[in-house]
Amino acid sequence: MVSVKRWSWVAALLLGGCVIQFSAQGDYEEIFGFDGFSVVRIVDVDGDINLRGMETKEVKLRGTGFAMGRTEEDARRNLRLARLDMTPDLTDLILEFDPPRDKIGLVDLRLDRLGTLPLEAGVTVAVEAGDLVMEDLHGALTLETGKGDISVTGGGTSTVSAVAYDGDVSVEAAGEIIVESGGQAHVLAGGVDGRSLKVETDGESIHVEIPLQDFEISCYPDGGNIEIEASLEAGSAQELGDGLIRYVRGDGDKKIELRSNGGPILVQLYQP
């Protein structure tokens, strides 16, 4: 996940033996057509990203560009390179930050202001460090951050995969949900409905809310506690040993798996 295009202060301090003394910064905003695509794939952009679904046929991304140079004019000229290149790839609209090789370390782009996408759009993005916030997007979401939190609200019936190696994850969606968190995980399953839900954390807590439908849930804590808040008249809970509790209602055709390496697990059931 390490990008060679990230801001390098060592490279920026010297260029051809000349000290880089000047910098420039400016707002970035660009609009891309979305017709014919289903997923926006953002490549080699780091930092916080906040995207919201709207009734639109366009992808509007907004952020901040940064550049350095030997002179003020050189820095301003380099700032024009702080933009995304568009490459269509079948169903994916690929938007990549790809400055010329001789400008790597002198130009950077952050999508640190709210961007908007069509409601039906999906998003694929991975950052080294930054918070990923997705609102009202109904397409498939594949999100990854090395250090930061992930928040998904208003997700649709498509798959949501959210991985935060050093951070918390919160997902509200109606489709299949896959969460891996180095911190806490909070999942609101809007209607599992034949799909699966899998949550894994590294030593922190899991809090899952699930509609009271037919499903089977298995919890695997490693030294943590399990608490299931539900009426046993709606199903049955069985202690299987080694801290494992399986709760089954109806046919159990919706598979839900929760695994916590040391943290507590809380499952709450509610009427859909």
Asked if residues 20 and 80 have their Cβ atoms less than 8 Å apart, the reply is: no
Query: Which tokens sit at 225?
Result: 């506690």
In a structure prediction context, what are the per-residue pLDDT tens digits for the chain, which is 272 residues long?
A: 434 444 444 444 444 555 668 999 999 999 999 988 999 999 999 999 999 999 999 999 999 999 999 999 999 999 999 999 999 888 999 999 999 998 988 999 999 999 999 999 999 999 999 999 999 999 999 999 999 999 999 999 899 999 999 999 999 998 889 999 999 999 988 765 546 788 999 878 999 887 766 667 788 888 778 887 765 455 666 666 566 666 666 555 667 888 888 888 888 776 65
Asked if residues 15 and 68 have their Cβ atoms less than 8 Å apart, the reply is: no
Contacts of 194 (CB under 8 A, 6+ apart): 253, 254
Ranges of each domain in the chain: 32-61+84-98+114-270
pTM of the predicted protein model = 0.86
Q: What is the pLDDT of residue 257?
A: 85
> How many of the other CB atoms lie within 10 Å of CB of 257?
15
Which helix (H) or strand (E) segment holds residue 48: the answer is none
Q: Half-sphere exposure (CA, 13 Å, Cβ side) for 66?
A: 16
10 by Cβ neighbours in 10 Å (0-12 / 13-18 / 19+) ranks as: exposed
Q: What is the pLDDT of residue 56?
A: 96
